[in-house]
Amino acid sequence: MNTQVSHSEAVPNFRRGLRLLRGIALLLLLLVAVGCQPGPANPAAASEAESQPSPSATPPPTVTPVPPAETPEPPPTPTEEAVPEAVTIPYMDPDTDKDIAFLSQWLRIHRPATALAPYPTVVLLPGGNYGPDNYEDFVEQLVDRGYAVVAVKYRRAHSPEPYRSLNGEDFDCAFAWLVDNTAAYDLDPERIFLFGHACGGYEAAGMPLEDKSHWAEEMQECPHPIPDPSAIKGVITYDAHYAILEGVLSSHASAYASAWGIPGADMLTSVETLKAVPPHEWLESTLLDDNTRKLAQMLPLYWLHSAGGSDAGVPPYLLIYGNVLSPMGHDFAVEAETMAENMRSADLDVTLMLLDSAKYSDLVDAQTDVPARVAETVDAFIAEQSQ
């Protein structure tokens, strides 16, 4: 049967078909658009991502900053410690405002850079031809070994009065200042040693032996308290004049007479008298007149026989000497050996040390090895006494 469709029925059908085609086209466009969007590499990841809450719904977690690991500081680079500057002080008048260049009574303190304070201290009493500045190399040798060095400048004038030693007065006053000021300069009061060269050795030898009345007499012009000689823990000398009667005192009697203000004739008479009486009898001998006794009291030989021996607190002695005569003909071997013999007879602790081929002037000569050799000997002696 042939079925005919009327015009009224065809129009609605056409419209329905057209709408269907539009719907299909729109669906295809949507599928293409979705396929162009980026997505997870796998469906599982996409599913997990979909199950997570939205970033806007949950605040980000709080992050606590982790401090960096501490890096230990490298050790400081060793640097050479500066040697403390030497201090120069006028011991007779510490409050003076005068230029030190115009004074003749001052001391200079040298201290080590590395040793622990308080420092063992060496008091340097220079020889008559020298001052503190002449001993620069020797002082440096001692300072490098950990010692403080106190070098004393003293008057070189002759005595204005008979039987008076200006050298002795100045050395005593400088020592009194030192004992009174050890703490201020980190000096060890229990380790003070005297070192004397030439006539400085003569003064150093007598200082621990003299009684307090003699100290008081020599310190009448000194502004410091009279020190206790027991503060001296040892005495070291190098090529010293001890005013031995058979040595330099006899051969240079006129020079000593001039320095001590003694008339030449009186000096010669007193020397001959002292030669006739053994030194250990000088203290009580009736053969000594007043002038001769005054002279005797200026000599270490007089005091060592009245000091009471080592049991009385007299410190040990080290007498260093060379075997080369001085330009003036001084035989330091005779001086040292005779002094040591008398000290032993007085029951004092004394050690002789020969420095072979050494001259009197070598101690102030940096071109020789004597400053180092003497400093090494001093160091060993002090170390032994400090044990």
Token pair of 262, please?
A: 């003694």
pLDDT of residue 128: 87
Structure tokens given for 43: 């469906």
- Are 279 and 310 spatial neighbours (Cβ–Cβ below 8 Å)? no
Amino acid at site 144: D
pLDDT at 257: 95
Residue 274 within any structural domain of the chain:
no
270 found inside a domain: no
The domain total for the chain is 1
Contact 225, 122 (CB under 8 A): no
Q: Give residue 325's pLDDT.
A: 83
Q: Which residues of the chain have pLDDT under 50?
A: 1-14, 18, 21, 25-58, 60-64, 66, 69, 75-80
Report if residue 78 sits inside a domain: no
Phi, psi (rounded to 5 degrees) for 187: -100, 140
H or E, element range at 191: strand 187-197
Q: Which CATH number is 100's domain given? A: 3.40.50.1820
CB 319 within 8 A of CB 237: yes
* End-to-end Cα, the chain, rounded Å: 148
Structural domain includes residue 136: yes
Domain assignment present for residue 57? The answer is no
At 248 the pLDDT is 86
| Cβ contact 316:232 at 8 Å | no
Residue 23 resides in a domain = no
Is 178 part of any domain?
yes
Burial of residue 75 (number of CB atoms within 10 Å: 0-12, 13-18, 19+): exposed
pTM: 0.78
Give how far Cα 271 sits from Cα of 248, 250, 274, 333, Å: 12, 7, 5, 21
118: which residues sit within 8 A by CB, 6+ positions away? 182, 183, 186, 187, 188, 189, 191
Contact 110, 185 (CB under 8 A): no
DSSP secondary structure letters along 299-333 = SHHHHHTTS--GGGTPPPEEEEEESS--TT---HH
Residues of the domain holding 318: 87-248+308-385
Q: Assess if residue 254 is contained within a domain.
A: no
Rounded distance between C-alpha atoms, residue 35 and residue 273, angstroms = 139
Distances (CA, A) of 387 to 190, 316, 322, 380, 381: 12, 13, 28, 11, 10
Strand runs (DSSP E) across 48-185, as ranges? Answer: 87-89, 107-110, 119-125, 148-152
